[in-house]
Structure 1
Amino acid sequence: MMFKPTFLALLLLAPPLAAARDGHANAYLSDTQVSVAMAVLPAPSTPGSAEDKADYAATDRAFADRSAADFEQAKKEEKFNAFDFAPVIGDGFRADKLPHVAALFKEAEEETKQAVDLSKNHWKRPRPCPPASECADHPEKAAKKSFGYPSGHSSRATVDAILLAQLFPQDADALMQHARDIGWRRVVKGVHTLQDIYAGREFGTALATDMLASPALQHDLAAAREELRAAGLAPKTP
């Protein structure tokens, strides 16, 4: 019975998203789809509960135990897009060579960010702040960051992986693992908890599933496949 008030509250958040996409006829997601995906996302732990404290403590440990390589990669991934999956797909997977592919993922990533921002602002879950982290050293910068739940990196990486698997089905497992690694390194960097990145995976999966039902996305996927074939990057058929 607690689900209905939460769902109705989330539906009230739909108008700002509609305003952000006003006049955009080729959007991949409807406001209703975003609202339903937000409503299905489970609530994070109750603030101050034992579970909540353990979640933040896990980030403190991951940050303290970080490897130099993982931490450097996490910093490089502060800004990323679908073309950062090139290590899985191949060196020829470049935005400057594939404008149709680039346009598709720019749209998908922008819509995902809008949905994530709405969800973050609904839950208002504080980010972690491990000892000796950038957050601890520069609290004034940390105060300007968005909320933590769900992780935007984890959400967008999941959407990217699922949509890329439509173009490179033979790489589906590796693409998803790459997305999971991007999310995990947000914990290593000390800016998200495990709950944040798990929620991002679930939210990203729901958003990508709805995107795939969009005629606009299917049209753009077809154009992307043709472009990949012309570039010699299409999957080899058996």
Structure 2
Amino acid sequence: MKKPLAIALVLMTPLLGVTANAHASGSYLSDTQVNTVMAALPAPSAPGSAEDLADRAATDRAFAERSAADFNQAKQEDDFDAFAFAPVIGVDFRAEKLPHVAALFKEAETETKDAVDLSKNHWKRPRPCPPASACALHPEKAAKKSFGYPSGHASRAAVDAILLAQLFPQDADALMQHARDIGWRRVVKGVHTLQDIYAGREFGQALAIDMLASPAMQHDLAAAREELRAAGLAPKSP
């Protein structure tokens, strides 16, 4: 079966070599890379347009038809990191056991959040507000939330999945699906539209591919692989 483009790019990236375009501080993305990824993101639907209204109506339906299990899981994922992918990788994939892995993902997630915040504040797309949702019941709290486009959760989940696939290539499909599920549950929770989620996935994929071109990232991935081997968590040879 032919692999989806995103997964194929993930698995071939180490073969492309690295470029010296990361900051000297050891971060994974340069300002130029972030700006380029932001510029490639299409504009969201015009406010009040038929497309915009349909997008928001889809969130209203997903929220109204939510299952208790999905909604509870969505609430648990309000704060998540790469170790939320342990159901795919295994119960021993824990931050306290893997400090090098934890540091790599903390840096990647911080840089992703910074890039997402820049893009959100550029587009300023209001979040959805389904009837009877927390937004509708507590508008004063909703007013303090960030804008909706692109979704930060979808972006960070995509980055995490792509980077984790470098460490666990045999789980690439399941990791990407787990990332998609995290994004979808933001719609179920009523805090994002599908358009926000799709944009976040594309944004996160582009950021992750740029991160993998960073010498700092490649250095940290090598350290992470060694740590996983020492912990007995490295992928088994075929």
Relative to the length of structure 2, the TM-score reads 0.90
State the shift of 1:147 in Å: 0.0
Identity of aligned residues (%): 85
Q: Where in structure 2 are the equivalents of 1:166-181 lying within 5 Å?
A: 166-181=166-181
| Amino acid paired to 1:150 | P
Q: Distance in 2 between matches of 1:139 and 1:46?
A: 23
Q: CA deviation at 1:24?
A: 6.8
Cross-structure match for 1:123:
123
Look up the SS of the partner of 2:75 in the other structure. Answer: helix
- Aligned positions of 1:187-226 closer than 5 A: 187-226=187-226
Q: Determine the structure 1 residue equivalent to 2:235.
A: 235
Deviations 1:178-200 (A, max 9, x none): 00000000000000000000000
The aligned runs of 1:65-214 (5 Å cut-off) are 65-214=65-214
C-alpha separation between the residues in 2 aligned to 1:228 and 1:42?
Answer: 38
Q: Deviations over 1:125-172 (max 9, x none)?
A: 000000000000000000000000000000000000000000000000
Aligned length: 216
In structure 1, give the amino acid aligned to 2:227.
Answer: E
Secondary structure at the counterpart of residue 47 of structure 1: coil
Residues 41-92 of structure 1 show CA distances to partners (whole Å, capped at 9, x for unaligned) of 0110111110000000000000000000000000000000000000000011
Answering whether residue 50 of structure 2 is matched by residue 44 of structure 1, we say no
Secondary structure class of the residue paired with 1:146: coil
Instruction: Give CA-to-partner distance per residue, 1:80-135, whole Å, 9 cap, x none.
Output: 00000000000110000000000000000000000000000000000000000000
TM norm structure 1 = 0.90
Look up the equivalent residue of 1:179 and give its one-letter code: A
Amino acid of the residue matched to residue 98 of structure 2? L
Point out 4+ residue stretches in structure 1 off by more than 4 angstroms: none
Counterpart CA distance in 2 for 1:110 and 1:173 is 24
Q: Mind listing any 5+ residue stretches in structure 1 that lack a counterpart?
A: 1-22
For 1:220 and 1:96, how far apart are their aligned partners in 2? 17
Cα distance in 2 for residues equivalent to 1:24 and 1:71: 42
Give the match for residue 18 of structure 1: none
CA distance in 2, matches of 1:109, 1:101: 12
Distance in 1 separating the partners of 2:112 and 2:191: 19
Q: What amino acid maps onto 1:36 in structure 2?
A: T
Gaps in structure 2 of 5+ consecutive residues: 1-22
Aligned pairs (5 A) from 1:9-24: none
Q: Deviation of residue 221 (structure 1)?
A: 0.1
Q: Equivalent residue of 2:43, what SS?
A: coil
* C-alpha distance in 1 between matches for 2:204 and 2:68: 28
